[in-house]
Structure 1
Amino acid sequence: MKKTVLLALFLFPLIAAAQNPDSTWFVNNFTKKEVSIPMRDGAKLFTSVYVPNDKSEKHPILITRTPYSCAPYGKDYRAYWRNFMLNYCKEGYIMVIQDIRGRWMSEGTFEVVRPFNPNKKTNKDIDEASDTYDTIDWLVKNIDNNNGKVGVTGISFPGFYATMAALSGHPALKAVSPQAPVTDRFFGDDDHHNGVLFLMDAFDFHAGFGFSQPRPQPTTKPAKTFNIPDYDNYAWYLNMGALPNFTKVTGDSLKFWSDMMNHPNFDAWWKARDARSGIKNVKPAMLIVGGLFDAEDGYGTWNTYQALVKQSPATKSNLVIGPWYHGQWASRDGTHLGNINFGSKTNDWYTTNIEIPFFNYYLKGKGNIDTLSKATIFFSGENKWKTFKQWPPADVTETPVYIEPNGKLSFQDMPSFRASTDSYVSDPAKPVPYAEKVHYYRTREYMTDDQRFAARRTDVLVYNTDTLTEDLTLAGPVVADLLVSISNTDADFVVKLIDVFPENAGTDPVTKYPMGGYQMLVRAEIMRGRYRNSFSAPEAFVPGKPAQVKFTLPDVAHTFKKGHKLMIQVQSSWFPLADRNPQQFIDIYHAKDSDFVKETINVYHNSSKVILPVMN
């Protein structure tokens, strides 16, 4: 979660000197109240409440709980008019935003991903669910002219708090929308993917954004931050070296960072912080929202929905996935991500047809949601919204595509009588970059970037199908199943699924980028080889001995059009997105700079494959 994106999404600006008509309308038609709501253990949470002046009807309450500040504090109003949230204001919602426990102006101690406690017995047993319960209870009893119906929404970390709200059990809570919710920081959200530290995001978030800095007393001032003193983040992260050098920069002030360094494997500490653990018997209606190209919490979106389906089947739960980066549906129009054009204002369609009708139905009894499908998914490639009774769709066939010699991919298994391989040398001193350009912060656009820069490297294996003679639509998770051998005792494996455009694809009319031969990243994921058999009990490789490395990539919804090619790339670094593997079976979080060594990676033909969710 990058600083600029977070600021844009969560730290709404104060009222501008030259107010627009919507801001004037909002200030004239709402009254702001700042209250400190007592929790069961005595802590008070600072809350801003914007109440419609209209007394002709009772109003529903819509809550967002955030670690990113409910500013502005004092007489100025939050700028709800700057995006589609103005629609809720015009529908007459009581708008509530709260500083969570231990952040900004709220009392108590903050904990990154506070574990859900299903066995609360005393007033001292608190979690984010109980804080939400106490907040709702106070609001419905103390805010005049409310209709007794409450909804909760939030994006990213506020999405995690929305999930926790759904577990609160308060009878007034009728509808919840976790959007790009932080869900599991070991397997796929923000800090880690399959146990691999997502270095750039983790360090920038916890140190650069000041998110985990201690805050002894309530304050309106932001925490002290660490600013990376270089505009070339690849060079800066590489020069920093091993992970203990980053820990020295943070000192002992960042508890969550220190905890991560001391919990390298999937253990009880990580399990307690999986937001899915409490998703059982959920009462409010749920609308799970996320982006196909969310670089931060795409995992949380897909997997929160799946947890609801499996662990709370009676819950009215719906999934919406658009062609968006992290939180894009709440900001820009959703027509583009980088050089990829989606053909319409996907944001407007979503907010008008799904989100606002969802809350209006459950909180106001207005309209109906008969047309809201179980899953509403945008398919890139063909640029169409599609609806399903389940996700993945019922008519999906798991179809392997095999890695063959000479850079070929085949849908037919053609076993060779001799084991043959492709090989490359992985050098931690020259890791494969995740993006081509020099830049400061992690980009959002890398999720659809042209991968030709990587294909040109000798440490990236490239495989193509023949030109497709008909459309190929994928819907669901992709599974990488590699047979490999390595010259040392550990390695990472990155598998990329890529759509190769025809040479005559022309130029994008908006970005002016040449799209002929474009290698669009559709999905990619990394796997730390030591976890190939268990994330709790890592195992070293035996040098030279073949081993299976099988892992799941996040869901895709994409159509490879006739005339395109499907490409697979395999590599062993993805920097500085992911931390570097020393390529030895040692404790990476306490490694030395001298521990990083080159190694040779062998990928076996025919035995290595990628299993695609082909929609019939």
Structure 2
Amino acid sequence: MNRLKSACAIAALVLGIATPVIAGRPQAAPAVEAAAESPYTVEEVMVPMRDGAKLQTVILRPRNQSGPLPILFSRTPYGVNTAAPRSVPKNWAALDKDGYIYVSQSMRGRFKSDGVFTLSTAVHPNDPTAIDESTDAYDSIDWLVKNVPNNNGKVGMWGVSYPGFAAAVALAHPHPALKAVSPQAAWIDYWQNDDLHRNGALRLSYATDWVSSLQLDKNDNKEFHYDTYDTYDWFLKTGPVENIDKLYFKGRVPMFTSLLDHPNHDSFYTSQRWSDSLGKTVVPTLNVAGYWDQEDPWGSWQIYFRQAKNDPDHLASIVAGPWAHGFWRTPADSLGPIPYNVASGQQFQEQVEAPFFAYWLHGKGEKPGAGVKSFQSGSWTWHSYKSWPPAEAKKTDLYLHANGTLSFTAPAASEGCRDYVSDPANPVPFRQRPMSGTYLSPDWRWWEAADQRFLGGRPDVLSYVSAPLTDNLTVTGTVAARLMAATSGTDSDFVVKLIDVYPDDFEKSHAQLQPGDYAKSLNGYELPIAMDVRRGRFLASDTTPQPLVPEKITAWDVPLREHDHVFLKDHRIMVQVQSSWFPVIDRNPQRFVPNIMRAKPGDFVKATQKVCSGSKILLPVVH
């Protein structure tokens, strides 16, 4: 699905405004109208900002409104619809029972809104003349509470993905009327572990599709056109990253050009880290994150951690579950192809989100609790944690052995290493081929839960497998890997995957199989639980990269983020290690160059990679 079916449509679901989509692409919103059967009236206004710019804003209010109501406000770069929905959208029916005035706004520089859209996440708390997304949120709230008739003076903000960031950044300088915020799949740092990078490694295909969709046309979310059916082939044929700008964008996508110019974690990124401005938590906040969020899995956790450091009134919370990007806005009763038959998304909407806004904006019900609420995968049950990781989680080392096994027993130093050859001309694909563009098929949503057996037989992927578990193993908290590894090159990537291997007899075969059914079975399914990449040039410093010493065994710490999962009895644990993840991550040339974003074809060389004794996964095990 394209960005509007993946992000803007999710934002539209949050707002309850269905943006029209033709052939997968969002269309311009129709003229203002209020369908007779709609439960809402609709109004379009241009809201003035402090610098005189006016932002396109749509106001929906219940047709049968009888008294003052709070405002639920969302800001988006993907376009707002000026038509009222014909019925209450299912994904916020629980909210609608309490009654809200729903307001949506096109962010500065998008669609009818004035100004230039830069994708910047910077805030300027010490500059009263500066304009940024936090000041636009402040000015909009100020105008809304003063000019929208029959509101009760309380505003909540919410949103998924970019609208999630737009809600979160309002916390940098909150308006007094802002009484509750729910940033869902938000982010704080483009260089870290959300949209544009993974630990400094460029998210190549996603940056190409997503950034261009926002900057090529002010009035559209343009899909990038690939002239090759398999985008793996397209990126490989295009060559070094800068060729995308030279041959296709030609300077028309400023953020992509900035990525080329800023390969390291310099001030271009740190100056946009808006969360640095967060101090004492004063606005109740419901963060939301998906453990399988293929776009923004990291930022909402970091916002929560930052808030929890100074939260004397216990206002900060986070909810997480086995969800892809925005999947909690659906019933959410499966993890990709794995059904668990609990409507976890619907439960979140009814039992967490609606009561959160009802209490803080209506004064109804009990005060929501702080801390972490998690729908745990494997057990498929809800859990609440006062701290994260839970106090009872014990750090436990799971070791990679040279014979290809995994165990909790430390190896002897004499075990030595396993090796493979990494060839940039034949990089490891991140999902099955042929690959569509990011949003051109449903495959993108659940690629992080896809069966990893599609890589079987590749000599450049090392697998380590445990014996079948004799009891359940619960992992709750921060997961990480430490590889003791070496390369024959002067730069390198290592990708680490923690995988839950289902038993071969997990499902009984159906008597009447249709073509393709056998491959769809969960028997032997290799479910990724945690996956990420570490780039060698940044091992010593993310601001001043350094070449690796060839053949030197070095500790590679690979963060694998937050997780809450039960490996069930009779399942096995697998770890895979590889050195490319293409084209979701750009290819490392494996020869050190000053600016990896502008590597030349001759810089891409084969390298022999070694994974050696002492390599391990660090698991927070709860007994």
Q: Give the TM-score, by structure 1 length.
A: 0.92
Residue of structure 2 in register with 1:525 after alignment: 532
CA positional deviation for 1:117: 1.0
Q: Which moved more, 1:34-43 or 1:441-450?
A: 441-450
Query: 1:385-464 maps to which residues of 2 (within 5 A)?
Result: 385-416=382-413, 418=414, 420-442=416-438, 443-464=444-465
CA positional deviation for 1:343: 2.4
Cα distance in 2, alignment partners of residues 261 and 80 from structure 1: 46
Q: Which moved more, 1:406-415 or 1:255-264?
A: 406-415
SS at match of 1:567: strand
Cα distance in 2, alignment partners of residues 508 and 190 from structure 1: 40
Cα distance in 1, alignment partners of residues 99 and 166 from structure 2: 24
Residue of structure 2 in register with 1:168 after alignment: 173
Amino acid at match of 2:378: G
Cα distance in 1, alignment partners of residues 571 and 336 from structure 2: 20
Amino acid at match of 1:33: E
1:552 lines up with 2:559 in the alignment:
yes
CA positional deviation for 1:314: 4.4
SS at match of 2:292: coil
Cα distance in 2, alignment partners of residues 83 and 597 from structure 1: 52
Cα distance in 2, alignment partners of residues 223 and 335 from structure 1: 30
SS at match of 1:84: helix
SS at match of 2:209: helix
Unaligned runs of 5+ in 2: 22-32, 439-443
Amino acid at match of 2:322: P
Residue of structure 2 in register with 1:19 after alignment: none
1:85 lines up with 2:92 in the alignment:
yes
Change (3 A) 1:15 1:545: closer
Cα distance in 1, alignment partners of residues 151 and 348 from structure 2: 27
Residue of structure 2 in register with 1:499 after alignment: 500
Change (3 A) 1:80 1:434: farther
Cα distance in 1, alignment partners of residues 72 and 254 from structure 2: 32
Deviation string, structure 1 residues 251-295 (Cα, Å, up to 9, x no partner): 111111111111100011110122321222232100001211101
Cα distance in 1, alignment partners of residues 422 and 411 from structure 2: 28
Residue of structure 2 in register with 1:116 after alignment: 123
Change (3 A) 1:381 1:223: closer
Change (3 A) 1:508 1:155: farther
Amino acid at match of 1:434: F
CA positional deviation for 1:103: 1.1
Deviation string, structure 1 residues 112-135 (Cα, Å, up to 9, x no partner): 03301111323xx12211111111
Cα distance in 2, alignment partners of residues 316 and 508 from structure 1: 50
Amino acid at match of 2:534: M
Deviation string, structure 1 residues 223-253 (Cα, Å, up to 9, x no partner): 5553112221211111111112111111111
Unaligned runs of 5+ in 1: 17-22, 216-220
Cα distance in 1, alignment partners of residues 91 and 553 from structure 2: 54
Residue of structure 1 in register with 2:575 after alignment: 568
Residue of structure 1 in register with 2:252 after alignment: 253
Change (3 A) 1:26 1:137: farther
Coordinate RMSD, CA, aligned: 2.2
Change (3 A) 1:232 1:41: same
Residue of structure 2 in register with 1:595 after alignment: 603
Q: Which moved more, 1:265-274 or 1:421-430?
A: 265-274
CA positional deviation for 1:450: 1.0
Change (3 A) 1:466 1:545: same
Q: Which moved more, 1:159-168 or 1:561-570?
A: 159-168
Query: 1:30-49 maps to which residues of 2 (within 5 A)?
Result: 30-49=40-59
Amino acid at match of 2:467: D
For the 8 Å contact 1:230–1:440, the answer to whether it is kept is no
SS at match of 1:506: coil
For the 8 Å contact 1:498–1:522, the answer to whether it is kept is yes
Change (3 A) 1:303 1:594: same
Deviation string, structure 1 residues 384-434 (Cα, Å, up to 9, x no partner): 111111222111111111111210112121323x36100000011111111
SS at match of 2:582: coil
Query: 1:154-553 maps to which residues of 2 (within 5 A)?
Result: 154-207=159-212, 210-213=213-216, 215=218, 221-222=219-220, 225-248=223-246, 249-312=248-311, 314=313, 316-330=315-329, 332-369=330-367, 372=369, 374-416=371-413, 418=414, 420-442=416-438, 443-506=444-507, 513-553=520-560
Residue of structure 1 in register with 2:441 after alignment: none
For the 8 Å contact 2:226–2:437, the answer to whether it is kept is no
Residue of structure 2 in register with 1:218 after alignment: none
CA positional deviation for 1:14: 5.5
Query: 1:18-37 maps to which residues of 2 (within 5 A)?
Result: 28-37=38-47
For the 8 Å contact 1:480–1:553, the answer to whether it is kept is yes
SS at match of 2:476: strand
CA positional deviation for 1:578: 0.6
Change (3 A) 1:2 1:400: farther
Query: 1:90-169 maps to which residues of 2 (within 5 A)?
Result: 90-122=97-129, 125-169=130-174
CA positional deviation for 1:589: 1.0
Cα distance in 2, alignment partners of residues 171 and 289 from structure 1: 23
The count of aligned residue pairs is: 594
For the 8 Å contact 2:314–2:370, the answer to whether it is kept is no
Q: Which moved more, 1:127-136 or 1:273-282?
A: 273-282
For the 8 Å contact 2:214–2:222, the answer to whether it is kept is no
Amino acid at match of 1:348: Q
SS at match of 2:140: helix
Cα distance in 2, alignment partners of residues 366 and 569 from structure 1: 49
Cα distance in 2, alignment partners of residues 68 and 393 from structure 1: 38
Cα distance in 1, alignment partners of residues 226 and 573 from structure 2: 38
Cα distance in 2, alignment partners of residues 404 and 516 from structure 1: 25
Deviation string, structure 1 residues 21-55 (Cα, Å, up to 9, x no partner): xx999855432121111111111111111123445
SS at match of 2:88: helix
Cα distance in 1, alignment partners of residues 408 and 86 from structure 2: 53
Amino acid at match of 1:251: K
Cα distance in 1, alignment partners of residues 215 and 497 from structure 2: 32
Cα distance in 2, alignment partners of residues 8 and 170 from structure 1: 28
Amino acid at match of 1:596: F
CA positional deviation for 1:373: 5.3
Cα distance in 2, alignment partners of residues 462 and 55 from structure 1: 60
Cα distance in 2, alignment partners of residues 258 and 277 from structure 1: 25
Cα distance in 2, alignment partners of residues 14 and 278 from structure 1: 34
